[in-house]
Amino acid sequence: MAEDRTAFASSSDLKDRWPNMMDATLADTLLEDASQLIRDTCPGWAEASEETRRSIACSMVKRAMIAGEDSAGLSARQENAGPFSQSWTYSNPTGDLYLTKSEKARLGQGRQRAFSISVESGTVVGPWTG
């Protein structure tokens, strides 16, 4: 059976969230990549709502696309007047696609699960999630 590899969002979804987005072709490609990354790293992705998957895919792509823009991807900046020092630290200098801890949680990654097995009958009870 062939796996559905469609993107969770389109460039127009990203444009709705980020009006300054310039390159729709790049955005569509990155949205496909982000969607596949979600499928590969979060086994419970299918349980998340369609809107959650769309929102997270758009956030991932925006982070990747702003990496090259002026100071949009800065996590730290330092300037001194004498003797003329300047320093910047980029949060995502190469424009990688990644999921934040909160995004993983929204996709069900890292949730604890518990179940019990009856030693006598072998019956599984649960799972419970928390």
Q: What is the pLDDT of residues 31-80, one digit of tens each?
A: 999 999 999 999 889 999 999 999 999 999 998 888 755 545 555 666 77
Sequence-separated (6 or more) residues with CB below 8 Å from residue 13: 31, 54, 58
Q: Which helix (H) or strand (E) holds 105?
A: helix 101-106
pTM more than 0.85 = no
Cα 46 to Cα 44: distance, rounded to the nearest angstrom: 6
Neighbours of 92 (CB within 10 A): 16
Cα 62 to Cα 31: distance, rounded to the nearest angstrom: 10
Whether 90 and 74 have beta carbons less than 8 Å apart is answered as: yes
Residue appearing with tokens 């799972």: 127
Residue appearing with tokens 């369609």: 50
* 78-119 pLDDT, tens digit each: 677 778 777 656 555 556 788 888 999 999 886 656 666 777
Report which residue type is found at 86. Answer: Q
Report which residue type is found at 84. Answer: F
